[in-house]
Structure 1
């Protein structure tokens, strides 16, 4: 564990400034998502101020919202829902899409055709429209939001993973594994998947950004995390009336979404493989 941490610190020390800044942004939000609610000065739904949309102060660091609740406390709680729902949905979409891609590629024939056409059908539907239909039909509880966001982005991950797997499946070392009589599962796990990890990690980062923006959009429409709890998108929607006043209650969560997504994108760019020539 100590060696892994030291290697990570060493890699970040040698990394370009943009990479270190991006890693700092992403790490900050991960720490905030894990420990934020424990250090929040007020409960998530507590009314702590008689004034609405009050400014920054020593008692309320980010002011109060449209009901007089502490924006800083709600931001700490909202970060947990945004980060964990986004990361969980992105991981679930990546696992399902990659598993289906490996199965389709190594099976070929009718299985590959059926799975590919099904994924093409799903990807032809705009992600926000598909999510809105599923939320309207199934509800917006946290487990359902996780599953809906994951299902929305499985087809995109499938197409990328299948393209990678198809290129790898045509190489000699996969043909040699088949000639040795190895099963499809062993070939997928030991021969194909390890050579797909790097591009899939970059795609995972992009899916995380897409899911965060989708969750924020659903919450802005009132279909995401429900009161009294909120994610960052919900905080923007419920305080929209403070926009004309430039209230911190709406500026803080909007800036938080921007910092989280931009930091993740910068970190994804840093994951590009180095040129070995």
Structure 2
């Protein structure tokens, strides 16, 4: 038994005893579970597996500590209601907000942060990491770190714009269908049913093959494919509002349909739509990355995380983790957005801890 194994298990046992003494039930459950898993993994895989578990646990602990520090900083910086809201936010939501803010800063200030240009060749093909290129080079010798930073601007920016367009189309159509009813609702509903009956990825590949793979076409095609889902949500939540007495009173006053939609219906469905925006952004973001991986998304030399995975996939055969870096960036943002969306849903539902 190595010294690391002894120290590792001694730490877990001591921490578990401390959590039990101070009656921290959540910490005790986590530590005891980790102790059991580590014991089983150590027996089956040896000390090497324990090292990996320790690294993973250390990363989680570091993420929790950073999230706690970020949350407390926001409590001090934000005024009034913002500070109160952040004080009650779970660590997962704080972590999600921190990741999203980091991505936004990287996207906005990409030319300042990135040491090299987006398509600048600065080294040899698949160059290893060094002092100049901290993440190494890609298949053309471009700096992976610089392209990762620019990829935040391109991938996330296009996904955000696409989601906004899809939400505008879907929300307006859903509100009109719920407010007008009758044949308008039937026509819009049947169009949406037709679009939803076609598999999205196959339909996107077909449309992009026909119209071309420019950024504008990509944005419009993905927005068209995801707007029916938003239509269904907007129509459902607005349908519960338009039957209320105050909506009927507005109609009896002679208010027009667009006034009722803008002043009476829309303010009362903002919370579920805001939560759906976060979830739909994740799906749009993943769809654009998948299309780029297949070669029909954002085109070279524009940096994009999906295409970066495809361009460097050869290195996986040699045990290199370079293709996993942009994939990890995609996964991290998706998880972060879902953490924030879960928090928003909890707040909008009125539930208490």
Query: Structure 2 length normalisation: TM-score?
Result: 0.74
Contact 1:83 1:212 in 2 (8 A): yes
2:85 corresponds in structure 1 to: 11
Offset of residue 30 of structure 1: 1.3
The CA RMSD measured in Å over matched residues stands at 1.8
| Residue in structure 2 matched with residue 274 of structure 1 by the alignment | 350
SS at match of 2:278: helix
Assess if the C-alpha contact under 8 Å between 1:63 and 1:248 holds in 2: no
What are the residue-to-residue correspondences of 1:55-204 with 2, within 5 Å? 56-204=129-277
Bigger Cα displacement from structure 2, 188-197 vs 27-36: 27-36
Match status 1:33 vs 2:107 = yes
CA distance 1:36–1:8, shift in 2 (3 Å): farther
Distance 2:248 2:320 in 1: 62
Partner Cα distance (1:80, 1:124) in 2: 33
1:24 matched to 2:98? The reply is yes
How far 1:129 moved relative to its partner? 1.3
- Measured after TM superposition, the shift of residue 128 of structure 1 is 0.8
Correspondence for 1:221 = 294
**How many residues end up aligned between the 2 structures?**
274
Distance, in Å, in 2 between the alignment partners of 1:26 and 1:69 is 26
Deviation at 1:147, TM superposition (A): 0.9
Q: In structure 1, how many angstroms separate the alpha carbons of the residues matched to 2:302 and 2:245?
A: 54
Q: Which runs of 5+ in 2 are unaligned?
A: 1-76
Q: Which moved more, 1:231-240 or 1:266-275?
A: 266-275
Say which structure, 1 or 2, has more relative contact order (CA 8 Å, 6+ apart).
Answer: 1
1:129-185 per-residue CA deviation (whole Å, 9 max, x = no partner) reads 121111111111111111111111000000000001111111111111111111000
SS of match in other structure, 1:271: helix
Shift of 1:79: 1.1
CA contact (8 A) 2:312 2:323 kept: yes
| Residue of structure 1 equivalent to 2:326 | 253
1:241 aligned counterpart, secondary structure = helix
1:6 Cα deviation after fit: 6.5
Unpaired stretches in structure 1, ≥5 consecutive residues: none
The structure whose Rg is larger is 2
